[in-house]
Amino acid sequence: MEKKSLKKITKTRLKNIGLFYLRRFESSVQNLRDVLKRRVQKYGFLNPDFNKDEAYLWIEEILEEFQKAGYLDNARFADLKIRDYLNAGKSARYIENKLKMKGIDENQIKEILKKENYDPIKNALHFCLKKKIGPYRENDEKRNEYRPKDLGALVRAGFDYDVALNVLGTNIEED
């Protein structure tokens, strides 16, 4: 069986990988760094004599170049992702955790959430609608039976316990 080999990693190749990734996805600086580092690590694993430290320096140079060119912008990335998450009915806690993993500053996240008028009740209701739980459960008789399960789903989704209780006590007709 033939050993699979990857194309040699060079600065130009890393730059092209980064550009191809950015053509398909919006990204934060940290996220693109992680993508490029994984590629270097994979190549380095298959080619033990490859100098990964030099490649990591190339990555930092490429990221700086992409930021200057406007290809990478953490503020733009955070703004887009927060709007997507809010439209999907995600909680502030969920949004903060996801964006922190992508290297976005916590204060920046809170600023954007404030600017977007984040309303936990509205988002929790949207979550319930998508999952057809709580006030959006089809069978009204079973609503109380499923209340603990629905409460757990809301809390696991990152909504505060008080918000979850409030939403589960809501009737759709009241809204």
Domain that residue 91 falls in? 74-115
Q: Distance (Å, rounded) from C-alpha 65 to C-alpha 39?
A: 19
Task: Based on the fold, state whether residues 128 and 152 are members of the same structural domain.
Answer: yes
Residue 159 lies in a domain: yes
Q: Which amino acid is at 34?
A: D
Q: Are 124 and 167 in contact (CB under 8 A)?
A: yes
Q: Domain count of the chain?
A: 3
pLDDT at residue 6, as a whole number: 73
Task: Based on the fold, state whether residues 104 and 150 are members of the same structural domain.
Answer: no
**Per-residue tens of pLDDT for the chain, all 175 residues:** 445 567 888 999 999 999 999 999 999 999 999 999 999 999 988 888 888 999 999 999 999 999 999 999 999 999 999 999 998 889 999 999 999 999 999 999 999 999 988 899 999 999 999 988 988 888 777 788 888 999 999 999 999 999 999 998 865 554 4
Task: Based on the fold, state whether residues 26 and 50 are members of the same structural domain.
Answer: yes
Residue 48 lies in a domain: yes
Residue 2 lies in a domain: no
CA atoms within 13 A on the CB side of 111: 9
Q: Distance (Å, rounded) from C-alpha 56 to C-alpha 33?
A: 9
pLDDT at residue 1, as a whole number: 44
Task: Based on the fold, state whether residues 142 and 129 are members of the same structural domain.
Answer: yes
Residue 31 lies in a domain: yes
Residue 60 lies in a domain: yes
Q: Which amino acid is at 71?
A: Y
CA angle 38, 42, 48 (to 5 degrees): 130
List Cβ neighbours of 108 (8 Å cut-off, separation of 6 or more).
Answer: 74, 75, 78
pLDDT at residue 169, as a whole number: 83
